[in-house]
Amino acid sequence: MAPYETDDSTRAEDADDLRAGPRRSARYVVPVAVVGVAAATIGLVPALADSGNPDLPKITAQQLIEKIAKSDVQQMSGTVKITTDLGLPNLGGLQNSMASAAPRGGSGSSADPSSKLMELASGTHTVRVATDGQDRQKLSLVESAAEYSLIHDGKDVWGYDSASDQVFHSTAAQDGGKRHDPAPATPKDFADQALKAAGDTTSVTVGGTAQVAGRDAYKLVVKPKQSGSTVGAVTIAVDAKTGMPLKFTLTPASGGAAVVDAGFTKISYARPAASTFRFTPPKGAKVTEEKDGAHGDHRHPKGAGPSSHGLLPGMPGEKGAKGGRKVIGKGWNSIAVLDTGSKGGTPSASGAKGLGGMLGSLGDPVSGKFGKGTVFSTRLINALMMNDGKIYVGAVTKDALVKAADTGH
Amino acid sequence: MSRADPETEGTARTARPAADTGPVTEPAGAGRAPSPLRTLGLLRSELSTTFRRWRTLALLAVLAAVPVLVGIAVRIQTGDGQQSGRGGGGGPAFLTQVTHNGLFLVFTALAATLPFFLPLAVGVVAGDAVAGEANAGTLRYLLVAPAGRTRLLVVKYATTTAFCLVATLVVALSALAVGALLFPLGDLMTISGTRITFADGLGRALLIALAVAVSLTGLAALGLFVSTLTNSGVAAMATTVGLLITVQITDQLPQLHAIQPYLFPHYWLSFADLMRDPVYWDDLVKNLQLQALYAAVFGSAAWARFTTKDVTA
């Protein structure tokens, strides 16, 4: 340092750095190391968190189903992540225009549950649920900087859409307070539907254990026995202690990512705060009252097309419950036959009809003994639209549809 | 001359001028008390330099004007007591709730300024931090003072972070004032549909302002790094703002969704989650982690660059 007689500490420092030549670039190791550590953390933490399936006492499938049936969780709150990948073509603007057209046919409010919950039919969504007994439930769809809440408090059902500040109100059915869910959103809703299907056409087994939302769970695997179904397997993770379904996964027979994957990421069995279920519409907000008769319709949002057809159209239990259309086949292979030529009244039919004109190019033309038609495929549901206006829909393969159409003629 | 083990650690470096440059720089070393006070003094002078600049004041004035414009626009549109007719329409978040409660203007104003105005202002200040000094020929003098480069850089970053906070608070306070003037105040409704008291709402507004200020710290570090790369203040500001716009666009393209969670603006809107009841922390925490990561990476990169750079101007 002696040669530097100036009192310029800058120089001194520079000289310092120059002398230690390699250290100049060595300092860039620090940011690189930070990036490396961050990348390693991002890569490793989920893997570590995933590790270890819990050791639980053995249980038979029958016992597990009974456990679910006996499960009586009255109070809980949690966060559910739902990913739906039906493999629909990306409709983009078309879907939006259908979505905006739908409320016009209904109550005209963006807070109407039927128009809102069909959003769950595609993509990934975060839903928060809270339950306190039979009379109080809340379901919130977490959106970017907004939220859609559906609150059931006693005899009132409120829908609040914070993005548009609109309120939807209806009075719950008086039949003992049992709420008619507008759409399946929790793993329990899905599981109930899937278990309805468990009959002689279904194999039900226990497929090991898993950790879901920090809780030990058994995995119940439900598989169709027949061939021809597009459903590969349904896996339900059941809380080992409470019997509450925590995660529902539907994998298609064709393999690949799950078609429906709904699971709790957080769950608490503590009683939610009472204020959670209290709702008074803000002053000046637009409140839409539900019209009479629109009640039972929520499960089939208008204009949703084949995609949100109850979310699980392949489930035989559901199929049988519907009137106004013919169902052929049984179990997982049941196929619904709609005649749009004469009726066109059912929501999915009108949706499919609207789609038909515009999406003709997206289907595959087929012909057989039945005549000519077009097959629209998704990863779960296939639909055969015949030129005479009949539609065959089911969670079955294309070949099975064509065969059904052939025998139908 | 004993070279008392330089660098390796930030703390070692901070203490260094006393041990190292002490004997070399004889006359200036009169009042040479080591770090904390001196660093504070440096910080104070940096802060007053930054906040006394006309440019900074003009930026803050523009930011303060945004809530005024939004408030008046909403007031005029809903003046006849009618609900704004565009149900679910565009506009920044919370816009529809402003008419119920003036406090929501704070959230709307922050949501309106966060994508562009706020980061633009931060980009200008951060980009100017080092390059501006170099451009004006004052960086050399700053380094002559026995502060050490690391300490100077830390002070520069602290000043930029302080600007993030001040800029956010200016928007929030201006919005609160306008909201109180034009709209009713009182108990408010969270976006989850539950009611909270006004005091609770004010607390959440403060938390939201903090969350927004923290959201900008990643960009501040990026700007500081860019600022050490060049000797032109304008180039550094333009580069920082250009990067910001590029990243914002990248964050919108659906084809690039795989990398989007790692872009610094990706979780910016998560501040709105503080208005849910109960608060949804997941994205807020992710935002915090992401900003810390950007600050660490670009902060250390700026350090690596600045401490080895030849300062000629």
Between CA B280 and CA B261 the distance in angstroms is 17
Quick one: closest CA in B to A116, which residue? Answer: B88
**Is the CA virtual torsion A297, A301, A306, A311 positive or negative?**
negative
pLDDT higher for A27 or A340? A27
- Tens digit of pLDDT for each residue in A136-178? 889 898 888 888 888 988 888 888 888 888 888 888 654 443 4
Query: What mean pLDDT comes out for the span A56-67?
Result: 83
Is the per-residue pLDDT at A339 higher than 90? no
Q: Which residue has the tokens 């608060």?
A: B279
Structure tokens at A362: 């997206």
Asked if B22 and B32 count as a contact pair (C-beta separation under 8 A), the reply is: yes
This model of the complex carries an ipTM of 0.74
Distance between CA atoms of residues A336 and A351, nearest Å: 15
The confidence score (pLDDT) of residue B191 equals 87
Measured CA distances, A344 to A64, A117, A340 (Å)? 42, 23, 4
Quick one: pLDDT at residue B265?
Answer: 93
Which pLDDT score, from 0 to 100, does residue A315 have? 41
Give residue B71's pLDDT: 92
**A215-224 and A231-239 beta bridge pairing:** antiparallel
Distance from CA of A287 to the nearest CA of B (A): 11
Whether residue B88 and residue A280 make contact (CB cut-off 8 A), yes or no, is: no
Cβ atoms of residues B104 and B201 within 8 Å: no
Q: How far A161 CA lies from chain B's nearest CA (Å)? A: 8
Q: Is the predicted pLDDT of residue B282 greater than 70, yes or no? A: yes
**Per-residue confidence (pLDDT) for residue B208, from 0 to 100:** 95
Q: Which residues contact A76 (CB under 8 A, 6 or more apart)?
A: A129, A130, A131, A244, A267, A268, A269, A270, A272
Residues 262-301 of B with CB under 8 A from A: 269, 272, 276-278, 280, 282, 293, 296-298, 300-301
Residues of A within 8 A of B311 (CB-CB) are 10, 14
- The residue of chain A with its CA nearest to that of B225 is A31
pLDDT-derived band at A198 (thresholds 50, 70, 90) equals: low
Q: What is the pLDDT of residue A13?
A: 46
**Least-confidence region, from A378-382, B72-76, B245-249:** A378-382
Quickly state the pLDDT bin for A112 (edges 50, 70, 90).
Answer: confident
pLDDT (tens digit, 9 = 90+) per residue, A318-334? 333 344 467 777 777 78
Instruction: Place B290 in a pLDDT band, splitting at 50, 70 and 90.
Output: very high
Q: Nearest-CA neighbor of A244 among A129, A335, A351, A323?
A: A129
pLDDT tier for residue A52 given thresholds of 50, 70 and 90: low
pLDDT digits (tens, 9 = 90+) for A207-244: 888 888 888 889 888 888 877 788 888 888 988 888 88
| pLDDT on residue B3 | 39
> Is B300 within 8 Å of A109 when comparing Cβ atoms?
no
What confidence category does residue A184 fall into, taking pLDDT thresholds of 50, 70 and 90?
low
- Asked if B138 is an interface residue toward chain A (Cβ–Cβ < 8 A), one would say no
Question: Which residues have a Cβ under 8 Å from the Cβ of B49 and sit 6 or more positions away?
Answer: none
Asked if the C-beta of B20 comes within 8 angstroms of chain A's C-beta atoms, the answer is: yes
Chain A touched by B6 (CB under 8 Å): yes
Q: Are strands A231-239 and A286-289 parallel, antiparallel or unpaired?
A: unpaired
| Min Cα–Cα distance to chain B from A58, Å | 35
Strands A390-394 and A382-386: antiparallel
Contacts of B191 in chain A (CB under 8 A): 145-147, 162
B66 within 8 A of B171, measured Cβ to Cβ: yes
Q: How confident is the model at residue B304 (pLDDT cuts 50, 70, 90)?
A: very high
- For the record, the structure tokens of B80 come out as 């006849």
Between CA B87 and CA B102 the distance in angstroms is 20
Which residues in chain A have Cβ-Cβ distances shorter than 8 Å to B192? 140, 147, 149, 162
pLDDT for the residue numbered B165: 96
Q: Backbone phi, then psi, for B198, in 5-degree steps?
A: -65, -40
Q: What is the DSSP letter of B26?
A: T
Q: How far apart are CA B133 and CA A319, in angstroms?
A: 74
Cα–Cα distance for residue pair B283/B260, rounded to 1 Å: 13
CA distance A26 to chain B (A): 8
> Could you tell me how many CB contacts below 8 A there are between chain A and chain B?
137
Minimum-distance CB partner of B301 among A31, A140, A147: A31
pLDDT at residue B292 greater than cutoff 90: yes
What is the percent of chain A where pLDDT is above 90? 3
Average pLDDT over residues B172-184: 94
Report whether pLDDT(B175) > 60: yes
Asked if B32 has any chain A CB less than 8 Å from its own CB, the reply is: no
Percentage of chain B beyond pLDDT 70 is 84
Q: How far apart are CA B33 and CA A355, in angstroms?
A: 78
- Chain Cα centroid distance, residue A72: 23
Mean pLDDT of B217-223: 95
Residue B16: the pLDDT is: 37
A233 membership: H or E segment, kind and range: strand A231-239
Task: State the Cα torsion B135-B137-B139-B143 to the nearest 10°.
Answer: 160
Of the pLDDT bands very low, low, confident and very high (cuts 50, 70, 90), residue B310 is: confident
Cis peptide before B278 (omega within 30 of 0): yes
Rounded Cα–Cα distance for residues A313 and A379 (Å): 12
Q: What is the pLDDT of residue A298?
A: 41
Whether the Cβ atoms of residue B215 and residue B287 lie closer than 8 Å to each other: yes
- What pLDDT, in 10s, does the model give residues B50-96? 899 898 999 999 999 999 999 999 888 876 544 444 444 456 778 87
d(CA B231, CA B243): 18
Question: What is the pLDDT, as a whole number, of residue A359?
Answer: 52
Q: What is the pLDDT of residue A22?
A: 54
Identify the top-confidence range among A70-74, A355-359, B160-164, B280-284.
B160-164
The pLDDT, as a whole number, for residue A375 is: 84
- What is the pLDDT at residue A4? 43
Enumerate long-range contacts of A254-260, CB under 8 Å, 24 or more apart. A254/A230, A254/A379, A256/A379, A257/A85, A258/A83, A258/A85, A259/A84, A259/A85, A259/A86, A259/A87, A259/A379, A259/A380, A260/A82, A260/A83, A260/A84, A260/A190, A260/A311, A260/A312
Beta strand A260-268 with A231-239: parallel, antiparallel or unpaired? Answer: unpaired
Instruction: Give pLDDT, residue B227.
Output: 94
Question: How many alpha carbons fall within 13 Å on the CB side of residue A364?
Answer: 11
**What is the average pLDDT score of chain B?**
83
- For the record, the structure tokens of B191 come out as 């976006």
pLDDT of the residue at B246? 94
Average pLDDT over residues A393-408: 81
Task: Find chain A residues with C-beta within 8 A of B276's C-beta.
Answer: 140, 142, 147
Region label for A133, one of left (φ > 0), alpha (ψ between -120 and 50) or beta (otherwise): left
Selected residue with higher pLDDT from A223 and B287: B287
| Residue A329 near residue A343, CB atoms below 8 Å | no
The predicted pLDDT at position B139 comes to 85
Please, which pLDDT band fits residue B158 given cuts at 50, 70 and 90? very high
Residues from chain A contacting residue B272 (CB–CB below 8 Å):
144-146
Query: Which range is least confidently modeled, A18-32, A335-349, B72-86?
Result: A335-349
B80 touches chain A (CB under 8 A): no
What mean pLDDT do residues A259-266 have?
Answer: 89
User: Where are the domains positioned within chain B?
Assistant: 1-32, 36-308
Mean pLDDT value of segment A58-85: 85
Q: Where are the alpha helices (DSSP H) in B99-232?
A: 104-113, 117-136, 139-144, 149-182, 198-215, 217-229
CA distance B95 to B75: 11
pLDDT at residue B222 is higher than 90? yes
Site from A162, A169, A286 to mutate, B interface, most B CB atoms within 10 angstroms: A162
